[in-house]
A and B are shown apart, each in its own frame.
Chain A
């Protein structure tokens, strides 16, 4: 329950920045906060309190399993590891976020060239 709560609070902070800030750079930071809220959520969901280390299987772990059976060793490994799939997912999501932030920053620079300001309120070429 706590990860949901934390992530939604952080997401709300980001949405607030996007909706209420007038400076383009602060809006970009708001969108990054939103991304990180979700990344953090995925990582927290994949975490297990029983985990002891990085999810990399070592001979020592197999020995600690106390059995020669492959399935039991794998079971032991799974029990003492965090879920590695969300980590792979957020790796992808971070890369996508990087591309998005780079594009946002590039556009903010171009807009600054056109208007000489980062203030959204002074960019009024578009109606509604």
Chain B
């Protein structure tokens, strides 16, 4: 089991670099597709097999040394397991979708090469137990994603990618600055070892200001990667410009792994929750939640609308994490903090499922009709039944309609925020949920319902592989929604028990709450 951890990074790297070779050897295209699908399946299998195992760690090359300062450590705890499963479900769907969708672009081999490099970077980010490796893996995933955004090489895509690249490189610089200051203060890069020295540095009587400079740089850097609202400018350009399966990966998992996961890891596991950090997280979360949805309501480009909603939905996750941190820092009731963090992580998983599905649906409609302007679409319910059905499921999920997964996670976040003593933030979250619903009613109205416009008379359903990818994610949305009440039912009246419930995320919340990852 333990030996599987480096393999989760090594396998996508190996598969990634095999792809251009196959392309150069002029192997048939189905071989590339088959290899990519098998690799994605194997990675999903490996991450699912990690669910339910105990926390473990792995020292690269068995180089632990007496002090363990210089070794490179991989850590697998509850949060890592949740992220791995989330990333690989979306990755499998994106690979299946790409096998057909990417036919219209040249050089599928290079596309899958970048795709698997991005996957390797994300797996590295969620597995690493070392601040500098966090930076390196963020860079691996980011550089692959910059190239993927520009994959079409049209002027719009190049422009979006250039903007993304400049802001992304600035973000990385900030992250490295923060990591450098932390190294200077503590003399180690290992997360658990830094954590052990933080209480002395953050001593309220004589706080070390450099620690707050480091925290500030990390917030700016990781906030840029997560596209939280003051730092969101690149996302609405970059995500729609990418090919649809890549939009699904970027919105579905990349901003979570590089941004939200890294923020959570740094602020809970490394710096430790404090009221200042919690206030920063809650502010960022609330701003993103409201700003994203207000910008989304007026959009008429299908993918751009979805991209703005990503900002808004990530706001929920960061808000919930901030509320959890605030309760923990004040020494409030642990179950409320656990509930907030659980809600946030559940929403993170749900958002990965429904937002990827929505981007795949937008890709499918674009594939079939050649446009993604909402006003030019319409009446696809009969022509593209499966795409329309999946689009409905995903829209109902993101809008938070009761039987679907988005409802449960938003409900938990709102309840936990109210219980933690922030009724106004809870009301704001409810208002944003309503605006999201309005926005997706518009999507339903203009894409699925209504009259079929004259230019779209000959539209047919997309190929089977793309349908399979969408159906897979729709099943995940439904299952997470329908099973959620069963998973939580015995605990609804007993919030104190919710802190020890069943989901992998909660276990992570507990591990995070007690301040650490396995040493």
Query: Which residues from chain A sit less than 8 Å from chain B, CB to CB?
Result: 4, 7, 11, 14-15, 18, 24, 27, 31, 34-35, 37-38, 41-42, 45, 85-86, 89, 92-93, 96, 99-100, 103-104, 107-108, 110-111, 114-115, 123, 125-126, 128
Residues on the B chain within 8 Å of A35, using CB? 169, 173
Interface window among B32-40, B145-153, B338-346: B145-153
With both chains docked as a complex, state the minimum distance between the C-beta of B160 and any C-beta of chain A, in angstroms: 6
Q: Is the CB of B159 within 8 A of A123?
A: yes
**Counting CB contacts under 8 A, is B162 at the interface?**
yes
A39 closest partner in B (C-beta)? B176
In the complex the two chains form, is B150's CB within 8 Å of A126's CB? no
User: Could you tell me if B159 and A18 are in contact, using CB atoms closer than 8 angstroms?
Assistant: no
Q: Are A107 and B158 within 8 A (Cβ)?
A: yes
Name the A residues within 8 Å of B161 (CB-CB).
107
* A-B residue pairs in contact (CB < 8 Å), sample of 27: A4-B181, A11-B177, A18-B166, A27-B166, A31-B166, A31-B169, A31-B170, A45-B183, A85-B70, A85-B183, A86-B183, A89-B180, A93-B135, A93-B176, A96-B136, A103-B146, A104-B169, A107-B162, A108-B162, A110-B158, A111-B158, A111-B159, A111-B162, A126-B156, A126-B163, A126-B237, A128-B233
Could you tell me how many residues of chain B have their Cβ less than 8 Å away from some Cβ of chain A? 36
- The answer to the question of B184 belonging to the interface, with a C-beta cut-off of 8 Å to chain A, is yes
Alpha-carbon separation in the docked complex, A111 to B180 (Å): 34
Q: Is the pair A104, B176 in contact by a Cβ cutoff of 8 Å?
A: no
Do A111 and B155 touch (CB < 8 A)? Answer: yes
The digit string for B172-201, where 1 denotes a CB below 8 A from any CB of A, is 110011001101100001000000000000
Min C-beta distance of A107 to chain B, whole Å? 5
Interface centre among B150, B156, B176, B233 (most CB of A within 10 A): B176
Inter-chain CA distance A24–B143, complex, in Å, is: 19
**In whole angstroms, what is the CA distance A7 to B214 when docked?**
13
A52 to B150, CA, bound (A): 49
Alpha-carbon gap, A76 to B184, bound state (A) = 21
Verify B180–A107 contact, CB threshold 8 A: no
A126 and B159 contact, CB distance less than 8 A: yes
Task: Identify 6 new A-B residue pairs, CB closer than 8 A, beyond the known A34-B170, A38-B180, A96-B139.
Answer: A4-B210, A24-B162, A93-B176, A100-B139, A125-B155, A126-B163
Q: Which of A45, A92, A110, A125 contacts B180 (CB 8 A)?
A: A45
Q: Which of B136, B159, B169 has the most CB of A within 10 A?
A: B169
Are A103 and B177 touching (Cβ within 8 A)? Answer: no
A125 close to B173 (CB less than 8 A)? no
CA distance A45 to B181 in the complex (A): 9
User: What is the CB-to-nearest-CB distance from B191 to chain A, in angstroms, rounded to a whole number?
Assistant: 16
Q: Roughly how many angstroms separate A110 CA and B146 CA in the complex, as a whole number?
A: 14
A86 cross-chain contacts in B, Cβ below 8 A: 180, 183
Complex CA–CA separation, A100 to B145 (angstroms) = 12
Q: Give chain A nearest CB distance to B286 CB in angstroms.
A: 21
What's the Cα separation between A125 and B241 when bound, in Å? Answer: 11
Counting CB contacts under 8 A, is B165 at the interface? Answer: yes
A1 to B182, CA, bound (A): 14
Nearest Cβ in chain A — how far from B208, in angstroms?
12
Does residue B213 face the partner (Cβ distance < 8 Å to A)?
Answer: yes
Q: Decide: B180 and A123 in contact? CB cutoff 8 A.
A: no
From the candidates B135, B136, B153, B236, name the one contacting A110 in the complex (CB within 8 A). B153
Q: Give the nearest-CB partner of A41 in chain B.
A: B180
CB < 8 Å neighbour of A104 from B139, B165, B180 = B165
Report chain A residues within 8 Å CB of B169. Answer: 31, 34-35, 100, 104
- Chain A residues with CB under 8 Å of B156's CB are 125-126
* Cα of A34 to Cα of B165 in the assembled complex, Å: 14
Q: Indicate whether B132 reaches chain A with its CB closer than 8 angstroms.
A: yes
A107 to B158, alpha carbons, bound, how many Å? 7
Contact between chains at B173 and A34 (CB < 8 Å): yes
Contact indicator B139/A114 (Cβ below 8 Å): no
Say whether B177 contacts A7, CB under 8 Å: yes
